[in-house]
């Protein structure tokens, strides 16, 4: 006798999770609110590929960043091209906008997106290797009004989904004019502590000094705690830009705190940078972030136009929203065919009712009426339509009203169209199904 070997179970890849119906219903609500807000601010949706040429991310996010250095899912495809699963979507939006000629010097473009991103970080609460972002980008505007508008949009969105304990923090990262001077100040500060910094930071000291501020090593954080901050070294145009953004937000009644420690983990930023943090999420408390990237479009081969945008982590936002867990819609009619010969009629009636817009569950299997009624109860169905031998002969299905526990079953014409059937059932039940 051969032993039966149970095949080994296959589970999801570490850091890649399933979003089960309860949670996905909640996500849908958040997405619907976000799409509504985006539309009010004149954004259009863009759907982007999940993979890009690796060079796109290396050139935009920066080769010295944690993301490009150690977190990307990169592989060579069968044609020998180096491909990367997108760790973020700003670079893709810019790539697509250039490729399809969406940006012209005299026209701004407002694009939003929603979808999964991939970063091979150490999984922990609120941190995954595949996670979802909702994001938006404005290409072709360099004035502070659009910075304020983006932050007000974010505030609107957070209010709409009733996000708990969230803070908006703002900073300026300067630009090509003032950052080199600041970098020198930072370099001297870090160089004096070189021996106590991690190997990565020692390397970054010469190649990309600013990234030291983004290092997650506790030792480096401690050493760099008193480091000079870029807001103290802004050139006049950058300082004016920041002051205007703050004034505009103030005027709009949106409160944003200045946090000179915000550096962001991607190299493309300049001037305005912001983050949204939430209480109660532990160390992964950033639910969103964004900022200006006025050099990126040109750096990727496009026209010299400015850009600004943000992205919110959907998992983290869902963790702090008070949006009620969406109730799954109730089954309106549960069809219980008794015996194989009732299946065809059951299926035909289910199809008719569904065409008429009703949520229908069709039981199958050879089960007793009692078992079927228990099953119907679990679905929360308002009405059960029983189709047995008698019903098939008479052409009239028996309807039980589960809410009223009607003792005297009522019947409907099984040959009626979906609309008529639905109307008959509704009339019997006395309420709309």
Smallest distance from ligand HAM to CB 316, Å: 4
Q: Of 309 and 429, which has the nearer Cβ to ligand HAM? A: 309
Smallest distance from ligand HAM to CB 278, Å: 9
Smallest distance from ligand HAM to CB 28, Å: 18
CA distances from 304 to 18, 84, 270, 280 (A): 41, 26, 14, 41
Pick the closest to residue 306 from 257, 355, 271, 330 (CA basis): 271
Smallest distance from ligand HAM to CB 84, Å: 14
Strand partners, 113: 135
- Tell me which DSSP letter residue 294 carries: T
Query: For the sheet containing 109-118, what is the strand order?
Result: 44-45, 109-118, 130-139, 307-313, 286-292, 270-278, 166-172, 257-258
Cα 130 off chain centre by: 11
Please give the structure tokens belonging to residue 429. 């039940």
Q: Of 134 and 231, which has the nearer Cβ to ligand HAM? A: 134
Q: With left for phi above 0 and alpha for psi between -120 and 50, is residue 420 left, alpha or beta?
A: alpha
Q: Of 88 and 391, which has the nearer Cβ to ligand HAM? A: 88
Q: How many CA atoms lie within 13 A of 107 on its CB side?
A: 7
Smallest distance from ligand HAM to CB 37, Å: 16
Long-range contacts of 65-73 (CB under 8 A, 24+ apart): 65/208, 65/211, 65/214, 65/265, 65/266, 65/267, 66/214, 66/216, 66/265, 67/119, 67/265, 67/266, 69/200, 70/120, 71/119, 71/120, 71/121, 72/118, 72/119, 72/120, 73/118, 73/120
How far apart (Å, rounded) are the C-alpha atoms in residues 349 and 308?
A: 53
Smallest distance from ligand HAM to CB 25, Å: 20
Q: Of 320 and 414, which has the nearer Cβ to ligand HAM? A: 320
Pick the closest to residue 317 from 48, 123, 132 (CA basis): 132
Binding-site ranges for ligand HAM (CB under 6 A):
88, 90, 119, 121, 127-128, 131, 133, 135, 137, 265, 286-291, 309-311, 313, 315-316
Smallest distance from ligand HAM to CB 402, Å: 42
Q: Of 12 and 432, which has the nearer Cβ to ligand HAM? A: 12
Q: Of 274 and 334, which has the nearer Cβ to ligand HAM? A: 274
Residue number with the smallest Cβ distance to ligand HAM: 313
Smallest distance from ligand HAM to CB 157, Å: 13
The three-state secondary structure class of 270 is strand
Q: Of 111 and 428, which has the nearer Cβ to ligand HAM? A: 111
How far apart (Å, rounded) are the C-alpha atoms in residues 30 and 217?
A: 34
Q: Of 174 and 291, which has the nearer Cβ to ligand HAM? A: 291
How far apart (Å, rounded) are the C-alpha atoms in residues 265 and 283?
A: 16
Helix (H) or strand (E) holding 21: helix 21-40
Q: Of 163 and 186, which has the nearer Cβ to ligand HAM? A: 163
Q: Of 249 and 338, which has the nearer Cβ to ligand HAM? A: 249
Smallest distance from ligand HAM to CB 372, Å: 44
How far apart (Å, rounded) are the C-alpha atoms in residues 114 and 313?
A: 10
Q: Of 315 and 391, which has the nearer Cβ to ligand HAM? A: 315
Smallest distance from ligand HAM to CB 94, Å: 9
The three-state secondary structure class of 31 is helix
């Amino acid at each position: 006798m051969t032993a039966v070997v149970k095949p080994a179970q296959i589970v999801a890849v570490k850091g890649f999770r399933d979003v089960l119906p309860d949670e996905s219903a909640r996500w849908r609500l958040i997405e619907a609110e976000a799409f509504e807000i985006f539309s009010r601010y004149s954004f259009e949706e863009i759907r982007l590929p999940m993979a890009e040429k690796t060079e796109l991310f290396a050139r935009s996010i920066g080769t010295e960043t944690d993301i490009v250095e150690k977190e990307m899912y990169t592989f060579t495809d069968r044609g020998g091209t180096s491909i990367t699963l997108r760790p973020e979507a700003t670079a893709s939006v810019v790539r697509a906008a250039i490729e399809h000629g969406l940006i012209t010097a005299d026209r701004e473009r407002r694009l939003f997106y929603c979808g999964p991103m991939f970063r091979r970080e150490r999984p922990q609460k609120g941190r995954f290797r595949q996670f979802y972002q909702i994001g938006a980008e404005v290409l072709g505007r360099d004035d502070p009004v659009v910075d304020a508008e983006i932050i007000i949009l974010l505030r609107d969105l957070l209010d709409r989904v009733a996000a708990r304990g969230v803070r908006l923090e703002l900073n300026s990262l300067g630009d090509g004019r003032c950052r080199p001077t600041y970098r020198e100040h930072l370099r001297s500060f870090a160089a004096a502590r070189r021996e106590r910094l991690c190997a990565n930071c020692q390397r970054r000291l010469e190649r990309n000094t600013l990234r030291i501020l983004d290092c997650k090593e506790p030792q480096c954080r401690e050493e760099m705690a008193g480091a000079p901050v870029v807001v103290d070294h802004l050139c006049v145009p950058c300082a004016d830009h920041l002051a205007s953004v703050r004034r505009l937000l103030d005027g709009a009644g949106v409160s944003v705190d200045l946090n000179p420690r915000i550096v962001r983990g991607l190299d493309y930023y300049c001037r305005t940078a912001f983050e949204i943090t939430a209480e109660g999420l532990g160390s992964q408390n950033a639910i969103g972030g964004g900022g200006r990237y006025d050099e990126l479009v040109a750096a990727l081969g496009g026209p010299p136009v400015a850009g600004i945008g943000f992205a919110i982590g959907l998992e983290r936002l869902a963790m702090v929203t008070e949006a009620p867990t969406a109730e799954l819609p109730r089954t309106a009619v549960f069809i219980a065919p008794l015996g194989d010969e009732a299946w065809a009629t059951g299926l035909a009636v289910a199809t008719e009712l569904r065409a008429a817009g009703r949520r229908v569950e069709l039981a199958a299997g050879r089960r007793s009426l009692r078992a079927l009624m228990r099953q119907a109860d679990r679905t929360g169905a308002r009405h059960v339509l029983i189709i047995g031998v008698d019903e098939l002969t008479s052409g009239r299905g028996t309807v039980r009203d589960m809410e009223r526990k009607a003792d005297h079953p009522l019947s409907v014409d099984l040959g009626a169209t979906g609309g008529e059937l639905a109307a008959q059932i509704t009339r019997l039940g006395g309420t709309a199904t």
